[in-house]
Amino acid sequence: MNPTVKSLLFWVVLVVVGVLIWNFSTKFQHNEKTITFSEFIAAADSGQIRSVVITGQEITGNLKSGDPFHTYAPSQYDGLANKLIDRGVQVSSKEPTASPWASLLYSWAPVLLMIGFWIFFMRQMQSGGNKALSFGKSKAKLSSSSQKKVTFKDVAGVDEAKEELQEIIEFLKEPQKFQKLGGRIPKGVLLMGPPGTGKTLMARAVAGEANVPFFSISGSDFVEMFVGVGASRVRDLFEQGKKNAPCIVFIDEIDAVGRHRGAGLGGGHDEREQTLNQLLVEMDGFESNEGVILVAATNRPDVLDPALLRPGRFDRRIVVNRPDVKGREGILAVHTRKIPMSDDVEVPVLARGTAGFSGADLAKGRADARLRVRERQSADGIRAPLDDHQRCGEARHGDPRSGSRAPHRAPAVRRSDPQGDDHPARHGARPHAATARRREAQLLARLPERSDRDPARRPHRRRDHDEQPHDRRGQRSRALDRARAQDGL
């Protein structure tokens, strides 16, 4: 139940109980004696009753001795008021109410209304104070159990990084196993790599595989204008982690708070240094944070403070590079496993034609493909733009513009050209696609025959004519044409 609802129910129950206690206490203070109706008639006949108040069937009154009494008259008894008047009893009557609870509520409505306003204003003041005091609270977001968990099945192209993170997953699943052996799990893991390679996705996948709470926060959320706020947020973040241990605390873009410390004059500089100092203490200080594993991501590891990278804090530094051809094939398989595909789309061919693409680039290609299908009103599935007729130009240089197209239809690959741009086609090269736009926008693409990370592909080695760089082939072609022109050929 919501804490606000609990507090409100507590106050309501407290007020109702107080009203009931006061009501019963007033009745007991009057010392009203409940008598039977026969005793009441006998007392009236003997002249012991001074006055009565008749409210429906309820009769209250006072004896001549001053003692109050209380009784009920039968429903079929008539002429009671006349009989009491004949015996000299002062008789008065009241309109009967619908319910005693209604009368009680009606009489106490103003008091309850005042108490309700008082509780409302007190809560408003308290919430305002909490907002001021919560300025130093952590802004970390805890992934709820209802959210879809990410596992290693959703991550591809980073097999080396997944192997290095398996030890942390095993520790989070069975920490007693490591404690019995006397092993020590790394306190921190730093994921380094270019943007878009899946560092945040890797951290979420580790939490999903281990089935532990996952706190996520950005490095810029720690830095504020007021000195001491960032350090307070770091302390609160690790306190939340201890309460939910074992867990993973993920700090994205840690270079915003973990830069090199140095001399500075600005207040923001002092605030960042205090935040970094508190982070260093929490990671490896006097207090132990067993079960709290800090995972951070950055694409600028060169600017981080050396104290943050020393053993005992970020013990593991995992490089998440751009995927190779096998990795891109796995990423494309993950992105396209739940969407329809055309029969002529080959994932290995797409992987070979997207050298240098990161996971984010491939995800964008999939999104562009779905939009392209919607534009073309295709019903047979998705045909990725990377496998279209002009896939090389669209993938690397954007969609073609109408003003850059040639006025006449040119062949995809020409046999010869004065500039030698398409000269490799005559020497056994196997071009994958070529554009026929204006001269400044022409493009000839060839799929790589080897892996991106093949050690045999070294730039200083001499290769055959088919594997020489495109610019060198063009230079040789132009030199050959000039020589023929000079000789009159």
Residues 258 and 305 sit within 8 Å (Cβ to Cβ): yes
Band (184; pLDDT cuts 50, 70, 90): confident
Q: How far is CA 352 from CA 192, 234, 321, 332, 356, in A?
A: 25, 45, 17, 11, 10
User: What interhelical angle do 100-133 and 3-30 show, nearest 10?
Assistant: 140
Structure-model confidence comparison of residues 392 and 9, the more confident one = 9
How far CA 406 is from CA of 238, 257, 409, in Å, comes to 62, 52, 7
Residue 410 has pLDDT above 50, yes or no: no
Mean pLDDT of 8-21: 71
Confidence of residue 404 (pLDDT cuts 50, 70, 90): very low
pLDDT at 408 over 80: no
Q: What is the CATH code for 141-261+269-319?
A: 3.40.50.300
- Residue 352, pLDDT score: 85
Q: Other C-beta atoms within 10 Å of 83: how many?
A: 15
- 393: tokens are 């130009």
- Letter for the amino acid at 460? H
**Residue of 258, 249, 188 lying closest to 223 (CA atoms):** 258
- 484 burial level (CB within 10 Å; 0-12, 13-18, 19+): exposed
Lowest mean pLDDT among 11-15, 86-90, 203-207: 11-15
Residue 53: helix, strand or coil by DSSP?
strand
pLDDT of residue 131: 46
Name the DSSP letter for residue 134. Answer: G
Is pLDDT at 421 greater than 60 in this prediction?
A: no
pLDDT > 70? residue 360: yes
Amino acid 296: pLDDT: 92
In the prediction, which pLDDT does 347 show? 84
pLDDT of 411 reads 46
pLDDT exceeds 80 at position 385: no
Q: State the Cα–Cα distance between residues 60 and 458, nearest whole angstrom.
A: 111
pLDDT tens, position by position, 156-170: 888 888 888 888 888
Average pLDDT over residues 237-253: 87
Cα–Cα nearest to 314, from 271, 270, 276: 276
Look at residue 193 and tell me whether its pLDDT is greater than 50.
yes
Residue 190 — very low, low, confident or very high, per pLDDT cuts 50/70/90? very high
* Confidence band, pLDDT 50/70/90 cuts, at residue 192: very high
pTM above 0.75, yes or no: no
Structure-token match 């003692």, residue found: 67
Q: List pLDDT tens digits, range 428-459.
A: 555 555 555 544 455 555 666 665 555 555 55
Which range, of 32-41, 264-273, 322-331, 409-418, averages the lowest pLDDT?
409-418
What does the pLDDT read at residue 356?
84
Which range has the worst mean pLDDT, 94-98, 276-280, 295-299? 94-98
Q: How far apart are CA 385 and CA 210, in angstroms?
A: 37
Taking domain 3-93, whether its CATH number is 3.40.50.300 is answered by no
The rounded mean pLDDT for the chain is 72
Q: Which of 3-7, 247-251, 407-411, 432-436 has the lowest mean pLDDT?
A: 407-411
Residue with more model confidence, 78 or 199: 199
- Enumerate residues 6+ apart whose C-beta is below 8 A from 323: 156, 157, 158, 197, 330, 331, 357, 358, 359
Statement: residue 242 has pLDDT above 50: yes
The 10s digit of each residue's pLDDT in 111-161 is 777 777 777 766 665 554 444 445 556 667 777 656 678 888 888 888 888
Higher pLDDT, 268 or 216: 216
Question: What are the boundaries of each domain within the chain?
Answer: 3-93, 141-261+269-319, 325-378
User: What average pLDDT does range 169-181 have in this prediction?
Assistant: 79
Q: Is the pLDDT of residue 288 over 50?
A: yes
What architecture does CATH give domain 325-378?
Answer: Orthogonal Bundle (1.10)
